[in-house]
Structure 1
Amino acid sequence: MSEQTTEIRVFVVDDHAVVRRGIASFLEFTDDIILVGEAVDGQEALERLGGMHVRGELPDVVLLDLQMPRLDGIQTAEAIAQRYPHVRTVILTSFSEIERVHAALARGVSGYVLKDASSDELENAIRASQRNEVFLDTAVTRQVTQRLVTPAHGLAALSARERDVLVLVAKGLSNQAIADRLQISERTARTHVSKLLTKLDLTSRTQAALVAVREGLVQP
């Protein structure tokens, strides 16, 4: 255990009661990390944090589920970073895709932990976050390292705009409709479609749509 004497105040946001109870039970066995509140989704979390702010009782660290109704973890983390810059956020999720990790870190998250991580890792993430350090789950770190040493392929090879175009292709939009939606020229939209097909080693828009569905970018 750490020799810190100052309590680390933690707020948990997860739409599954069993997860919240599990975290609460784990925190009972730590000497200086205490649970000061919880919420079922990002919207409720922001409302409760607003009240805590008025009372001068904001937590040090907020643990956030990634996928929640009304307001997801990344949107909530971004709002917390804007409203309460001194409050740190840690994503606690089942999703380890590198794109999700990058999106979270880009919005000020200081930790990313998988729900099957050990209690030691969760504790380390909370402590590191409170020290304003970045903590990545061991499994996530391995993926990041692997991505650095191997060429990008599949969806990872697509630019953000090409991913946007892929989603619209999967929704059945024509090049002109894609151009109108993204406020670009039809020629530029056509170029994006051609490039993403090449990068994904595909030959048709139908194949691209199937890839988008398989990868969870759009609903089937």
Structure 2
Amino acid sequence: MIKIIIADDQQLIREGLSLVLGLKRDFDIVFEAKNGQEVLDYLETNDGDIVLMDIKMPVLNGVETTRKIKEKSESVKILILTTFDDYDFIFQALKHGADGYLLKNTSSQELIEAIKKIINNEQVLDKEVTRQVLQLTKCDVAKLDSLTKREVGIARKISEGNSNKEIAQELFLSEGTVKNYVSNILSKLRLHNRTEIALFMKKYD
């Protein structure tokens, strides 16, 4: 059972998501929050597998909530639900460890699939939003040619949503070796997490 927390300051959005996702037998809507602070308070004494996070909320917005959650636990997944005008916020959320983002007008089936992917350690990056975010991204990152051929290959596998285990099996490497490669890639590109690797590699698709 996947424990889902819904964080959005609009009651209609919360109720709609809860209604749609609550129909899935393997989903359990454990909490609905109208701001980020309520999410943090809930997680102090309760468990959650994934937070469906709005960006613009009162009291504590989605970016700061993401940062605070990830500082305490990498195991809690965060899927940002956004609109087209939130690009700056999206990139900041990714820097703080968000596991992906989708537009709020995505279909219910796409959302369900996205939740399952993120729980399985895959990235979910809406194509339209990604294109716009990349145009605004001005991070001081090293060029792709700073990576070895093997590191480029692994980075591309990450951008395709493959887990370390899947990459290891495909390339006949141990998971530990793949983990070391991922650490090297993060260091060379001056990035913080796998989602940022995926976003970076989208520039070279």
- TM-score bracket for the superposition, by shorter chain length: 0.5 to 0.7
- Between the aligned residues of both structures, percent identity stands at 37
C-alpha distance 116-32 of structure 1, shift in aligned 2 (>3 A): same
Query: Is contact 1:63-1:89 (8 Å) kept?
Result: yes
Q: Which amino acid aligns with 1:48?
A: Y
Q: Which amino acid aligns with 1:121?
A: E
Task: Give the TM-score of the pair, scaled to structure 2.
Answer: 0.62
| Residues in 2 aligned to 1:95 and 1:123: alpha-carbon distance in whole angstroms | 21
Which of the residues 40, 46, 55 maps onto 1:46?
40
Runs of 4+ in 1 over 4 A off after TM superposition: 157-160
Structure index of larger Rg:
1
Counterpart residue number, 2:3: 9
Q: Which runs of 5+ in 2 are unaligned?
A: 141-205
Query: Is contact 1:125-1:136 (8 Å) kept?
Result: no
Query: Is contact 2:84-2:129 (8 Å) kept?
Result: no
In structure 2, the residue corresponding to 1:15 is in which secondary structure?
A: coil
Which of the residues 114, 123, 128 maps onto 2:112?
123
Root-mean-square deviation over aligned CA pairs: 2.1
| Residues in 1 aligned to 2:130 and 2:36: alpha-carbon distance in whole angstroms | 26
Counterpart residue number, 2:88: 99
In structure 1, the residue corresponding to 2:106 is in which secondary structure?
A: coil
| Residues in 1 aligned to 2:18 and 2:121: alpha-carbon distance in whole angstroms | 23
Report Cα offsets for 1:116-156 as digits up to 9, x if no partner.
11112211221121112210124224435xx4xxxx6xxx4
Counterpart residue number, 2:79: 90
Q: Which amino acid aligns with 2:132?
A: Q
Report Cα offsets for 1:22-80 as digits up to 9, x if no partner.
0011112223112111111001110111121xxxxx11101111000111001001111
Query: Is contact 2:81-2:104 (8 Å) kept?
Result: yes
Task: Give the TM-score of the pair, scaled to structure 1.
Answer: 0.58
Q: Which amino acid aligns with 2:19?
A: S
Q: Which runs of 5+ in 1 are unaligned?
A: 1-6, 53-57, 161-220
| Residues in 2 aligned to 1:140 and 1:159: alpha-carbon distance in whole angstroms | 17
In structure 2, the residue corresponding to 1:35 is in which secondary structure?
A: strand
| Residues in 1 aligned to 2:139 and 2:49: alpha-carbon distance in whole angstroms | 35
Query: Is contact 2:55-2:86 (8 Å) kept?
Result: no
Residue pairs, 1:28-43, within 5 angstroms: 28-43=22-37
Query: Is contact 1:92-1:112 (8 Å) kept?
Result: yes
Does residue 15 of structure 2 align to residue 26 of structure 1? no
Q: Which amino acid aligns with 2:3?
A: R
